[in-house]
Amino acid sequence: MADVRRFLYINRKAPYGTIYALESLEVVLIGAAFEQDVSLAFLDDGVFQLAKGQDTSGIGMKGFSAIYRALGDYGVTKLYVETDSLATRGLTLDDLQAITFEDENDGYTEKPSIIPVNKAEMAKVMAEQDVVLSF
Amino acid sequence: MADVRRFLYINRKAPYGTIYALESLEVVLIGAAFEQDVSLAFLDDGVFQLAKGQDTSGIGMKGFSAIYRALGDYGVTKLYVETDSLATRGLTLDDLQAITFEDENDGYTEKPSIIPVNKAEMAKVMAEQDVVLSF
Amino acid sequence: MKFSILVNEGPYTHQSSDSALQFARAVLDKGHEIYRVFFYHDGVNNGTRLTVPPVDDRNLQKRWSELAAAHALDLVVCIAAAQRRGVLDEGEAKRHGKGEGAANIAPGFRISGLGQLIEMGIQSDRLVVFGD
Amino acid sequence: MKFSILVNEGPYTHQSSDSALQFARAVLDKGHEIYRVFFYHDGVNNGTRLTVPPVDDRNLQKRWSELAAAHALDLVVCIAAAQRRGVLDEGEAKRHGKGEGAANIAPGFRISGLGQLIEMGIQSDRLVVFGD
Amino acid sequence: MLHIVNKSPFQTSTLQSCLDHALAGDAILLIEDGVYAAIRGSAVAAAVTEAKGKVTFHALGPDIAARGIAPEKLIDGVTSVDYGGFVDLVAEHQTNQAWL
Amino acid sequence: MLHIVNKSPFQTSTLQSCLDHALAGDAILLIEDGVYAAIRGSAVAAAVTEAKGKVTFHALGPDIAARGIAPEKLIDGVTSVDYGGFVDLVAEHQTNQAWL
């Protein structure tokens, strides 16, 4: 574990309008196998990725919002969500789907993966990384 | 000439960052052969397409700003430029290259192709068209 | 009414191609005619037969090809944009020495010039643009 | 110093590929090493040998292939993104029944998995992303 | 004139530019990421509400549903249409303009 | 941290978001259409000038020249760099972030 790096995936784009959100998620899933210190940042339109109740049946595209709920099983448990971005978009944390993980260091207690942060806190999260990937 | 339509090409994107400006121009050049009533609208970042002094030698891409000056030879003589868009971007009409055409209905007098309009006038230009193409 | 559709973006990356396809189906459902669908910019990438999307995902090229077959649609890929991006029919592939079997244009699509775009603007009652 | 580069957009449509190429050259000029260039999203379209840009324009695929040949660069095209967009090597073309000669991956590029992207994040001193 | 907007108003200035150029009586159709402009209580909701006096607003229902925007989150007076309604809007207006 | 911005500040909110998240001492490099933020007297010039107290601004010279922005049109204190300077900026900062 000498080479554990802090990876941050930046999500600033809405889902479906473009493929970046989905293909970013595909990197996160593959990356989970590499045992790095992984965080996801959702800010600006990226917060829309986590909106609950997504139903893509009418647009002929595959929905992928369920994948976010599976991230915990891959050991991806830190999803930083910027509350300022939510507010700008008329959303609150209640408009997001619940995403949890079972904490293996705490008797597999179910805990929330979403970590609400304000802009200043998000800036600090960004500053603490080794590798920042944006798509 | 029963079927002359008013075609408007909307240019809202900057050159070089994306290919839309160049490929839009390629449509205009081909379209000129069809003897329609052609206008070009430059607003928002589209006004940057007409900036003078463009030198692409450092970015490894072909410059194409000279093509705008050749539009008159193709009979494309109405280039509406939104002055509000220029002002927002710190530009004036003096920052644009001169684009002219020889008016065959007026003894081939050289006349400016650039028609400065404000937002309200641009809105009217848009409203008067049959076919609006945006890229 | 005679509709035409311009698709400016490739499959999957932007929703444009999906939206255009859904719109085209609705146009036909409403009893209108589709004069032509023109693919420009990255839109030409809708016409490559080489895509292999995940099995549980839609295959946009096939959807376009099937819609074209079912309704005799004219799907035109811009030749200049297609050359820039590597979508070629047999004639193009041969002319540019890309080797036997290299042509990648999909069934139901044809490659032609930008004049076809202007023409559809002249001939159609309505032209709708889908892009980025 | 060990650099890696991620290219998220295809050639010509966005400046990303041009910028990444100029940056790669400058990295080498400065005496640094390039560990890998990874092509993701539409970036995979940089790796098709079928492009035929206008004669007076740059050929981005060739520029990448030549840079790779001159400096033994590792140019990796993401397999999942490439399948979605129709960029295949011989093995892929055969596996998916695309016919003899259909492989369109360009010289100097290889197709591999997303793990190569993560690995370059781990192994490089610096990773720079070019996209839209 | 029918204006078609497919961009998020939080990411780009496209909707604002469209609003600045729409004439009284025009219609605006929000599609793809453009439907985010129809969310009640957002930073752009006031601009949309104000423009309602001048233009009519429509938003593509399938795109709204895909993005998880509940019907009760829509700004009053924004009409939801399906793809057939999209076709009708295009047919009803002699010209349309995509704000790309 | 080195922030890399490649979008026009008039078209997208990307530069603003970057400015909102940059920490004191960070560097911002404008490339591609991002260089338009460096034009003196524009609607975003005040935001750039104000941020200069906190972060340093660099802009890619070849992209500035390509777009026809004369050197005297640049906001004071925005440093023009070539691709080599771009490499140096990346090397000097342990982390960089592309604002796509």
User: What does the alpha-carbon distance between residue D30 and residue B92 come to, in Å, rounded to a whole number?
Assistant: 40
Amino acid identity for residue B11 in this structure:
N
Chain B CB contacts of E21 below 8 Å: 43, 119, 122-123, 126
Let me know how long chain E is: 100
pLDDT by residue for chain B (135 residues), tens only, comes to 457 999 999 999 999 999 999 999 999 999 999 999 999 999 999 999 999 999 999 999 999 999 999 999 999 999 999 999 999 999 999 999 999 999 999 999 999 999 999 999 999 999 999 999 999
% of residues, chain C, pLDDT over 70: 100
Domain that holds residue C27: 2-130
Mean local confidence (pLDDT), D28-35 = 98
DSSP output for C5-39: EEE-S-TTTBTHHHHHHHHHHHHHHTT-EEEEEEE
Interhelix angle C60-71/C16-29, nearest 10 degrees: 20
Return the H-helix or E-strand segment holding D77.
strand D75-78
Using CB atoms, which residue from D41, D57, D83 is nearest to C52?
D83
Quote the pLDDT of residue A1.
44
Is B15:B22 a contact under the CB 8 Å cutoff? yes
Q: Which two tokens stand for residue B42?
A: 């430059």
Quote the pLDDT of residue E18.
98
- In the predicted model, what is the mean pLDDT of chain A? 97
Mean local confidence (pLDDT), C32-59 = 97
Domain that holds residue A57: 6-134
Topology of the domain covering F2-99: Hypothetical Protein Ychn; Chain: A, (3.40.1260)
Neighbour tally for E42: CB within 10 Å = 22
The CATH number of whichever domain residue B105 belongs to comes to 3.40.1260.10
Tokens 């998620």 label which residue? A25
The B-side interface with C (CB below 8 A) comprises 3, 5, 7, 19-20, 23, 26-27, 30-31, 33-34, 36, 131, 133-135
C26 and E87: CB-CB below 8 Å? yes
Is residue A1 domain-resident?
A: no
Is B21:B56 a contact under the CB 8 Å cutoff? no
The CATH number of whichever domain residue C9 belongs to comes to 3.40.1260.10
Quote the pLDDT of residue B3.
74
Render pLDDT for F33-86 as a digit per residue (tens, 0 to 9): 999 999 999 999 999 999 999 999 999 999 999 999 999 999 999 999 999 999
The answer on pLDDT for C52 being more than 90 is yes
Query: How many domains is chain B partitioned into structurally?
Result: 1
User: What does the alpha-carbon distance between residue C99 and residue C83 come to, in Å, rounded to a whole number?
Assistant: 15
Q: Which two tokens stand for residue C108?
A: 């139901």
Alpha helices in C44-89 (DSSP H): 60-71, 79-85
Please report the beta strands in A14-123, taking only residues with DSSP state E, as ranges in sequence order: 37-42, 79-82, 100-103, 109-112, 114-117
pTM over 0.90: yes
User: What does the alpha-carbon distance between residue F75 and residue F78 come to, in Å, rounded to a whole number?
Assistant: 6
Is residue B1 domain-resident?
A: no
User: What does the alpha-carbon distance between residue E98 and residue F17 come to, in Å, rounded to a whole number?
Assistant: 27
Chains A and B touch (3+ CB pairs under 8 A): no
Mean local confidence (pLDDT), D26-54 = 98
Mark whether C58 is an active-site residue: no
Query: How many domains is chain D partitioned into structurally?
Result: 1
Render pLDDT for A72-118 as a digit per residue (tens, 0 to 9): 999 999 999 999 999 999 999 999 999 999 999 999 999 999 999 99
Quote the pLDDT of residue B1.
44
SS3 category, E29: strand
Amino acid identity for residue F35 in this structure:
V
Mean local confidence (pLDDT), C30-54 = 98
Q: In what order do the strands lie in the sheet containing B37-42? A: B114-117, B79-82, B37-42, B6-11, B131-134
Q: Which two tokens stand for residue C41?
A: 């910019």
The answer on pLDDT for A2 being more than 60 is no
- In the predicted model, what is the mean pLDDT of chain D? 98
The answer on pLDDT for E100 being more than 80 is yes
Task: Please report which confidence band the pLDDT of residue A5 belongs to, taking 50, 70 and 90 as the band edges.
Answer: very high
